[in-house]
């Protein structure tokens, strides 16, 4: 058994991040778990050092894609950043419903294990309960890593993933199957379109979107010149006046600010008629 630090200390991990154009600041706090997975991948390939590993990745796009999947971080939880969900409930959803479209189209980009997707679904169902004919919700959820989508479809979570969900939400929308196990009620899962999608290379899964969640993925883990084009594609997939939601610690880069008006700390509205 090789010593993990011996083949992947921080300097070598930083070399890998630089090779992929990923952000040290984004990975700094979560690097322990990511390094473990990278070391396992290196060992599977018989690579004893970073130079050898980078040479293999350089030569083989398939290995590079596998490395990128191993580098993903799926930390999430229900109603993460509670204030955001209040803003959505009090301002964004009423506005979307007031526009009275037949269908409201929402995309969770980088959805991890589905916590954000089901949080939105729960919020939407509670909000629209007071309408006699609410708009239909079309919810698309994508991620680079197929294993997270499989986890999301199962909808099983530990207690910690629900720490921001109050008792009422827990009992209304989940079954508590064991002391530390909650399952999303089956009908909450209905109609969600789960797809593998790489934000760096694939087109958005739909056009004319009303709301896109782009939280704690592109803008955290990648360097600006890597996420600039993908961010453009995301913004262009929004309807005029559509909403973009980012993570609490993320910022909209300078180049996108002409196209996105701040609505709240986490929420931006696409400026009408601005192709980016
Ligand atoms: C930290 S989780 C964020 C989950 C959720 N959006 C949230 O904020 O709670 C980041 C997710 O982004 C996904 N991701 C990273 N790079 C991606 C890419 N290029 N394309 C699609 N998904 C990506 C990861 O696989 C991971 O599931």
Question: What is the whole-number distance in angstroms between the Cα of residue 130 and the centre of ligand 1?
Answer: 33
Asked whether the predicted pLDDT for residue 1 surpasses 60, the reply is no
Residue nearest to atom 15 of ligand 1 (CA): 217
Q: Residue 187: give its domain's CATH number.
A: 3.40.50.150
Write the pLDDT tens digit of every residue in 147-196. 999 999 999 999 999 999 999 999 999 999 988 999 999 999 999 999 99
The domain of 62 spans: 4-70
Residue nearest to atom 5 of ligand 1 (CA): 111
Question: How far apart (Å, rounded) are the C-alpha atoms in residues 225 and 135?
Answer: 38
The answer to whether residues 167 and 218 belong to one domain is yes
Instruction: Please say which residue of 23, 46, 70 terminates a domain.
Output: 70
- In our burial notation (b when 16+ CB lie closer than 10 A, e otherwise), range 99-116 reads eeeeebbbbbbbbbbbbb
How many domains, the chain?
A: 2
Asked whether the predicted pLDDT for residue 274 surpasses 90, the reply is no
User: Which percentage of the chain shows pLDDT scores above 90?
Assistant: 89
The answer to whether residues 87 and 61 belong to one domain is no
- Yes or no: say if 119 and 185 are a contact pair by the CB < 8 Å rule: no
The answer to whether residues 248 and 144 belong to one domain is yes
Beta carbon of 145 within 6 Å of any ligand 1 atom: yes
Question: What is the whole-number distance in angstroms between the Cα of residue 233 and the centre of ligand 1?
Answer: 16
Taking all residues of the chain, what is their mean pLDDT, rounded to a whole number? 95
Question: How far apart (Å, rounded) are the C-alpha atoms in residues 185 and 174?
Answer: 5
Q: What are phi and psi of 19, to 5 degrees?
A: -60, -40
Q: How confident is the model at residue 94 (pLDDT cuts 50, 70, 90)?
A: very high
pTM to 2 decimal places: 0.96
């Amino acid at each position: 058994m090789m010593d993990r630090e011996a083949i992947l200390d921080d300097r070598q991990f930083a070399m890998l991040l630089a090779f992929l154009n990923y952000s040290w600041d984004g990975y700094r706090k979560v690097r322990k778990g990511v390094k473990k997975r990278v070391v396992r991948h290196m060992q599977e390939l018989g690579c004893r050092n970073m130079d050898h590993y980078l040479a293999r990745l350089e030569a083989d796009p398939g290995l590079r894609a596998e490395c990128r999947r191993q580098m993903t971080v799926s930390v999430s939880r229900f109603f993460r950043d509670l204030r955001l969900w209040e803003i959505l409930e009090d301002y964004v959803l009423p506005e979307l419903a007031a526009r009275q479209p037949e269908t409201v189209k929402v995309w969770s980009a980088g959805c991890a294990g589905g916590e954000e997707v089901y949080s939105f679904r729960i919020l939407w169902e509670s909000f629209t309960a007071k309408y006699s004919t609410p708009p239909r919700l079309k919810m698309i959820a994508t991620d680079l890593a197929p294993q997270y989508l499989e986890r999301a479809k199962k909808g099983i979570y530990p207690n910690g993933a629900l720490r921001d969900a109050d008792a009422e939400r827990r009992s209304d929308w989940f079954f508590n199957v064991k002391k530390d196990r909650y399952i999303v009620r089956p009908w909450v899962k209905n109609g969600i379109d789960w797809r593998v999608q790489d934000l760096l290379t694939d087109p958005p899964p739909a056009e004319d979107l009303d709301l896109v969640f782009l939280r704690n993925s592109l803008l955290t883990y990648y360097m600006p010149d890597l996420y600039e084009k993908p961010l453009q594609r995301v913004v262009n997939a929004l309807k005029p006046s559509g909403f973009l939601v980012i993570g609490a610690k993320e910022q909209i880069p300078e180049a996108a600010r002409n196209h996105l008006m701040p609505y709240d700390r986490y929420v931006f509205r696409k400026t009408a008629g601005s192709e980016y």
